[in-house]
Amino acid sequence: MSYKVLYRKYRPNNFDLLIGQNHIVTILQNSIKENKIAHAYLFSGPRGTGKTSTARILAKSINCLNPKNGMACDLCDNCRDFSSSPDIIEIDAASNNGVDEIREIINNIKIMPTHLKYKVYIIDEVHMLSQSAFNALLLTLEEPPEHVVFILATTNIESVPITILSRCQRYDFKKISAAEIKNQLKYVCDNENILYEEEGLNEIAILSDGGLRDALSILDQISKDNTKITLSLVSKEIGSVSNKKILELLKAVDETNLEKFDKIFNEFQTINLSYKVLIKKLVYVLADIAVEILSSDNSWKFSYDDCKKMILSFNDLINKINVNVDAYLLIKIILLEYFKNDGTSKIEKVQVKNSEELNEKANKMENFNENTLNDKLSNHLYEKIADIRINNCFVNASKVFLNEIQKNWEDFVRNLDVAVIKGLVSDSEVVTASDEYAILVTSINHQELEINEKLNEIEEYFNKYINKKYNLIFIGEEKWQIEKKKYIDNLQKKYKYVYISENNLINQEKNIKDDNDLTSIANELFDKNKIEIE
């Protein structure tokens, strides 16, 4: 007899065996007992939570000749023949999503069931149907023959048209709790004579993210050759880490132990741990630490606000991560921010040290101070410098320069070993370049402000890498779209860009005493004579 995978072998075949969806089971059983069968049901929720299983259980229960308390008896002819009955039609909308398949259903529903009470159509992943297929289904779904019941299932309720939703009884399946998944895993292990440790099963429950099918698949994958299911085995085979190890990492941050932090963090990267798993674990452990901090006795230097900010930062990060960016680097940057020592973050001290070294080197470079920015430029001056550098870049911007600098920039970021700088600029791309200037756009809102505060350092590293003097400026996507449109309009009007010196602007900023000086800077920068018309 061929081997049957665990999630199929232990698929529930009655409501009593359905895990974690009691709120749905109760309603469905009551409707069956009272013989209030709807013509269309819609089951939505995450994968592996029992939607298709519930659809089959419901289909069998409403066709049972002797239902008991809203459940199939499993003894009558209809129950025994259910699995092979031609009256139960299961359709995968992912591969049968065209209007022709729906029209075939419409043509066939008029035919009476062969021997069951109801002909049941179970359409899985219904959100994958095309718009024309949905349109074809509408009228039939609203008023099907009395002998037909539709059960639709989807993991993406947002993609199902409201016209379909309004014609169905909707049931929302929730993620199954880790405790319920663990209990089911223990039941399966006991039945299958699989050796296990509690921590190992608990880790599988966490990794499955609320999906019992995923949990059984993981158990099936690693339970070969009478191997005992342990935490270390799960971590090794699936790519995970224990909460204890996460706690050690956060302790290293809390104690400002950079050496220990790097060692543990590098271990995570070595085992190819999914960044999503790492973030999820960090959030769970930080939540526990936050509760501990609020208690009267704890040993953490972290404050409750630190934990809250970290959790929110990780939540924000996982929604914004670009596949082209090293997710591990971004996670590391967030954690390094919380290295504290006498009120000063460790990362700030590293930045100060780097800045001092760069300034010392800068003084030795010929004409280094020309066209460079002070580390503490005001936001006002940054905006003016940005406008100047954008203008100067447009003077002789070309595709040749752009291609060259784009390649240099990608190589530079890839090989940059300064974590702080790399974390800031990894999400930036060169959009325009000339022989001396380059404009870079960052897709993360307002990050350009933080990057330009360290523009001296970034330029120094980049220029050293390419062995050439380049002036950079970082702007946001919104500003870039505005500047690009202005540039195109100017080309059409045959405007000619001319260079603007930023030295005078910097000197004026240093001598600003009142608002009058600010006005003079604006007048100097936006003098009409700065643009010549051919």
Structural domains present in the chain: 6-172 (3.40.50.300), 178-239 (1.10.8.60), 243-341 (1.20.272), 366-533 (3.30.300.180)
Asked if residue 300 lies in contact with residue 293, where contact means CB atoms within 8 angstroms, the answer is: yes
As a whole number of angstroms, the distance between CA 87 and CA 328 comes to 52
For residue 67, the one-letter residue type is P
pLDDT tens digits in sequence order for the chain, 534 residues long: 467 788 888 899 889 899 989 999 999 999 999 889 999 999 999 888 999 999 999 999 999 999 888 899 989 999 988 888 899 999 888 777 778 888 888 888 888 998 899 999 999 999 988 888 888 888 888 888 889 999 999 998 888 899 899 889 999 999 999 899 999 999 999 998 889 888 889 888 888 878 899 889 888 888 877 788 988 888 777 767 777 788 899 999 988 888 899 888 888 887 767 788 888 889 888 988 888 888 767 788 888 888 888 998 888 887 776 655 677 888 888 888 888 654 444 444 444 444 455 455 444 443 433 344 444 444 556 778 888 899 999 989 888 899 899 999 988 888 887 777 887 888 889 999 999 999 999 877 677 777 877 888 899 889 998 998 999 999 888 888 888 888 888 888 888 888 888 776 655 555 544 444 444 444 544 444 444 433
- For the stretch 362-414, pLDDT in tens is 444 434 333 444 444 445 567 788 888 999 999 898 888 998 999 999 888 88
Q: Is 474 helix (H, G, I), strand (E, B) or coil?
A: strand
- For the stretch 234-286, pLDDT in tens is 877 776 777 778 889 999 998 888 889 988 888 888 776 778 888 888 988 89
Q: Is 189 helix (H, G, I), strand (E, B) or coil?
A: helix
As a whole number of angstroms, the distance between CA 118 and CA 55 comes to 13
Q: What is the dihedral of CA 250, 252, 256, 257, to 10 degrees?
A: -160
**DSSP letters along 270-283, please?**
HTT--HHHHHHHHH
pTM over 0.85: no
Residue keyed to tokens 């504290």: 340
